[in-house]
Structure 1
Amino acid sequence: MSTVLNISSYKFVTLDDAPALRERLHAHAQALGLKGTVLLAQEGINLFLAGPAEAVRGWVADLKQDARFADLEPKESWSDTVPFKKLLVKVKGEIIRMNHPTIRPDIRGSAGRAPAVSPETLRRWLDQGRDDEGRPVVTLDTRNAFEVDYGTFRDTIDWRIGKFSEFPAQVQAHKDAFKDKTVVSFCTGGIRCEKAALYMQEVGIEHVYQLEGGILKYFELTDGAHWQGQCFVFDEREALGCALEPRQAPSPESP
């Protein structure tokens, strides 16, 4: 049985004390022997950590003592070894770079989020080929091209972007294609599609949703139907299957 607990989570919440918070979170994670990455910015937190279950959950419990993170619910998966080489806790300009400073979910708050669709509902919509109001449903992969190559939803829209900051220009170029359709944006854990869906709303795309919790939550709460391949993750596991099990990703030379 795998004994290393891996967690990922994010939250858009205004952090005016990011440098001081960085010192506290780093010290606690280091004392517990955790490895991974925690990114902090004025717009929120984005984290990937791994270690013994008791240590990881203890770190999360301490973080949730801060009222700003009380509702944080990290996604969990297991591995035989720690998939990170070191611990990094950094303060950045954005926790996910889009280069559109007006797209700030932390300022908008929960009432200003783009609508979210649950994994179970998305699976049902994909079964039907339409949403509950009869509109055709399309999925939009907001990840970078090399991530998409590991796996994605069947018949998804993939603009082959090289970095997330290219996403807004692609929306502008293709937004008319979404007329009279319901579009569900998705990414690995939910953070990119949170910003993506808000941006699409701002440019006038009417029926847009984000996949709540991203691909990893879809794997956790459904049987992975409509997904093809694996999900790339940014650690030494490289890719996960629909049961959240680490898999050896194909080499570039593989057919």
Structure 2
Amino acid sequence: MSSTPIYVNIAAYKFITFDDTADKRAEFLTTCTQLQLKGTILLSPEGINLFLAGLREQIDQFLTWLRADARFSDLEVKESYSKNQPFTRMLVKLKAEIITMKHPLIKPELGRAPSVPPKTLKRWLDQGHDDNGREVVMLDTRNGFEVDVGTFDNTIDYRIDKFSEFPEVIATHKDALADKTVVTFCTGGIRCEKAAIHMQEIGFDSVYQLDGGILKYFEECGGAHYKGDCFVFDYRTALNPQLQETAAVQCFVCRTVVTPREQLSPEYVVGQSCPHCPPKKISQKSLAVKYTIPAE
């Protein structure tokens, strides 16, 4: 039996009033450091967002510590596993929003958008409509380069570069989505939850978020109705529908995900260039890269 340690990777978020973030930052950093965890935690007046990795016992100790705070007693996490530690350091950051939309009046804790469980969504996609007979439209709220790694069949992709662009883009496409049931989705649920709430506020009458995002869907439904893999913001780069690390890597220069076949190209030089890089970007670059939870 192999003695190689298995790292537990957890992703979680919760929208909740969190007005003592400055005081709590040091506690989070000390606790994670003592448990030898690595990753990124964002603390904001609107809640918490985290991606962490460590050994099973240490991850469980952290979750017990965190859930002792009544505000996070019901925090749900999504898990995946890796042979190596996918993060290089431990960061705890203070932010105005745990996911930047530049619409601070949105307060999901005061009323969440309706969510659809993964198994229910799969059934809707199997039958071609929701339980009321309405056409189901999948709306990807992630950045364009993430979508390119994999997404649901026949999804709507507005090619946004950062999440703060979403409100303006969705407003221009509102009429095209009338009379349809729209299901927003993202990697773990945070962006699609904010997106769905915003869509409700501007008049969409049938919009849901995919509960737990793509990672939860993979966990419960595998790759049904999904093509490709799911980009993740750590050194694993992408997970397949079995929640296993793939051989894809991310170009340090242009951020494009490079497939194993593309890695054989002479244009692929680690830390310097890939087949997708514009000519002007192919130059000497720092090999250092920082993976954190997306701020946009």
> TM-score normalized by structure 2?
0.83
Long gaps (5+) in structure 1: none
Root mean square deviation, CA, Å: 1.1
Partner of 1:113: 112
Q: How many residues align?
A: 250
Which residue of 91, 94, 99 corresponds with 2:94? 91
Whole-Å Cα distance in 2 between the matches of residues 35 and 24 of structure 1?
15
Partner of 2:64: 61
Give CA-to-partner distance per residue, 1:145-186, whole Å, 9 cap, x none: 000000000100000000000000111000111111000000
Partner of 2:132: 133
Partner of 1:182: 181
Whole-Å Cα distance in 2 between the matches of residues 176 and 200 of structure 1?
12
Listed as ranges, the matches of 1:196-235 within 5 Å are 196-235=195-234
Percent identity, aligned pairs only, is: 58
Partner of 1:35: 38
Residues 1:239 and 2:242 aligned together: no
Whole-Å Cα distance in 2 between the matches of residues 75 and 172 of structure 1?
31
Whole-Å Cα distance in 1 between the matches of residues 121 and 155 of structure 2?
13
Which residue of 13, 16, 31 corresponds with 1:13? 16
Whole-Å Cα distance in 2 between the matches of residues 61 and 52 of structure 1?
14
What displacement does 1:243 show? 0.5
What displacement does 1:21 show? 1.1
Give CA-to-partner distance per residue, 1:33-76, whole Å, 9 cap, x none: 10000000000000000011100110011000000000012111
> TM-score normalized by structure 1?
0.96
Give CA-to-partner distance per residue, 1:77-128, whole Å, 9 cap, x none: 100000000000011111000001111213x1xxx11000000000010111
Higher alpha-carbon Rg: 2
Which residue of 2, 6, 11 corresponds with 1:3? 6
- AA matched with 1:154: D
Long gaps (5+) in structure 2: 249-258, 263-273, 277-296
Moved over 6 A (4+): none
Point out which structure has higher relative CO (alpha carbons under 8 A, 6+ apart).
Answer: 1
Whole-Å Cα distance in 2 between the matches of residues 135 and 184 of structure 1?
12
Whole-Å Cα distance in 2 between the matches of residues 49 and 225 of structure 1?
27
Whole-Å Cα distance in 1 between the matches of residues 17 and 222 of structure 2?
35
What displacement does 1:241 show? 0.2
What displacement does 1:223 show? 2.4
What secondary structure sits across from 2:43 in the alignment? strand
Whole-Å Cα distance in 2 between the matches of residues 134 and 7 of structure 1?
36
Residues 1:167 and 2:127 aligned together: no
- AA matched with 2:181: T
Whole-Å Cα distance in 2 between the matches of residues 88 and 123 of structure 1?
36
Residues 1:253 and 2:252 aligned together: no
